[in-house]
Amino acid sequence: MAWPVSSSAARRIAAALLFPAWVAIASFALLEILLFASRPLWDDARALPPAGHGMPSQERYWCYRYDPVTGYAGLPDVRWLAPWGAVVTQNARGERGPDVPRARGASPRVVLLGDSQTWGFGVGDDETLGARLAEALGRLGHPGTEVVNLGTSGYGIDQSVLAWAVRGQDYAPDVVVFTFFAKNDLEETASVRSHGVAKPVFVRRDGGLCLANVPVPRAEGWPDVDLGSRVVRALAGCCGRTSADLAGRTNLVRFLHGRVGVRDWRAEYEAELARVREIFPCVAAEVDGSPGGEDVGRELLATLARSLAPRARLVVLAVPTSVDLSAGRRSESYAGFLAALRDDGILVVDPFEALLPAFALGRAIGHAAPGDDHLSAEGTAIAAGLLAERVAPLLAPPVDGGSFPTAPGVAGP
């Protein structure tokens, strides 16, 4: 039998249940007031880079963090259910793929550079270019080849080359593969902003290339590894981006951003810049001049190829647009850029013809987003198979104690 509860007793019970919530709200409000009042004492000392405008979007919000030289880099230890239904996993270094020790062993090693085509937009972890390339090389007699995926969504050629300078060199690979995406790589390389956030650029100065717009202005909302970012990411996961954005504006989270687990971006910037200067000595904070697209992109890749020789070889994997595939022929600009790279002695792998049959059946390009031009899982497998055929001979033992053999019909860099 249920005993009736008087209205006064119900109010006392409700008050008792709500009391902890009122205490928490009052404590938070008091803490916000105290932090706001003392903000001049702690906010000026926060180790944050220059502020910029914009907000990271889509996979950049969930999978990347601010980086003062490349603009942004992989967020470590990510496991994210992407909108296209696949799970995206990033290792402890923020790379999509297995952990590969920086120290070299006996296994062959390949480092991948590029944008979302390399990273794996629209596909699962076992369907990325890195995963498919490792499988294909295994079938060609190179089982156990270590493939490091430094692909990062939205990168231009400039950011990919910078990623090699600051993160890729430590892996000491036999081959470096850059994935050239015909749709937007040259456009992104010529811009100081891309996909809503600031980025570095290279400008011409005194007959050479000079890195500019560094340290890159930090857009609002970049997640990071500090406690404040973890709080924001947890709120975004359970309550949505709006709640996370509101929390990110509170003094408490702002304080946690700068005090608990924060990275010293200045030390990171100086260390990364020292690596960059080994390849590109000229660095200027301001953008003095017009960033170039095709000519700068070509020179960046040629410089990368020269810096790798003779210990490693640069290979460019070209990914055509769906417009070119629909027309059944390469655009003049696309074909011209690839021809220029070949003139520079760079080995170019162009899967255009190999993709046409799958494209005719609607299976070469993915459908992860409206207007998607990324290779599908099947398209990626086709490109990786062709790439493996050209990379495998470069994994043979070096000749003359240093330089790698030249692929048939291609001049060495």
pLDDT in tens, 338-353: 999 999 999 999 999 9
* DSSP string over 210-221: EEES-SPPBPTT
More confident residue, 353 or 53: 353
- For position 37, what pLDDT does the model report? 83
Q: What percent of the chain has pLDDT above 70?
A: 78
Which amino acid makes up residue 86?
A
Q: How confident is the model at residue 248 (pLDDT cuts 50, 70, 90)?
A: low
Query: What does the domain layout of the chain look like in residue ranges?
Result: 19-48+226-259, 81-219+264-395
Is the domain covering 81-219+264-395 a CATH 3.40.50.1110 domain?
yes
Pairing of the two strands 313-319 and 175-181: parallel
Give the phi and the psi of residue 58 in degrees, each rounded to 5. Answer: 50, -130
Q: What is the mean pLDDT of residues 67-91?
A: 90
Supply 139's token pair.
Answer: 């079938």
Taking only the tens place, the pLDDT of each residue in 300-329 is 999 999 999 999 999 999 999 999 999 999
pLDDT, average across residues 202-224: 84
Quick one: pLDDT at residue 240? 62
- Give residue-wise pLDDT tens across range 121-177: 999 999 999 999 999 999 999 999 999 999 999 999 999 999 999 999 999 999 999
Separation of alpha carbons 149 and 116, rounded Å: 11
> Which is higher by pLDDT, 411 or 61?
61
Q: Tens digit of pLDDT for each residue in 254-304? A: 776 655 555 677 888 999 999 999 999 999 867 776 666 789 999 999 999
pLDDT given for residue 401 in this prediction: 46
pLDDT band at 408 (very low <50, low <70, confident <90, very high): very low
pLDDT at 399: 43
Task: Supply 248's token pair.
Answer: 């990110």
| pLDDT at site 260 | 54
- For position 402, what pLDDT does the model report? 47
The DSSP call for residue 252 is H
Q: Do 118 and 380 form a contact (C-beta atoms < 8 A)?
A: no
Q: Sorting pLDDT into bands at 50, 70 and 90, what band is 48? A: low
CB 128: neighbour CB atoms within 10 A? 27
Count of CB atoms within 10 A of residue 326's CB?
11
Q: What is the mean pLDDT of residues 197-219?
A: 89
Give the pTM.
Answer: 0.82
Task: Identify the residue with better confidence: 317 or 223.
Answer: 317
Contacts 24+ apart (CB under 8 A), 116-119: 116/59, 116/151, 116/153, 116/154, 116/181, 116/374, 117/151, 117/179, 117/181, 117/319, 117/374, 117/375, 118/149, 118/150, 118/151, 118/152, 118/179, 119/149, 119/151, 119/152, 119/153
What was the pLDDT predicted at 218?
82
How, if at all, do strands 201-205 and 208-212 pair? Answer: antiparallel
Rounded distance between C-alpha atoms, residue 9 and residue 7, angstroms: 5
Alpha carbons 273 and 236: distance in angstroms, whole number = 33
Segment among 236-240, 383-387, 407-411 with least mean pLDDT:
407-411
pLDDT the model gives residue 313:
97
Which position has the higher pLDDT, 277 or 243? Answer: 277
Euclidean distance between CA atoms 97 and 130, whole angstroms: 7
- Considering the chain, what is the average pLDDT of its residues? 84
Query: What average pLDDT score do residues 227-252 get?
Result: 67
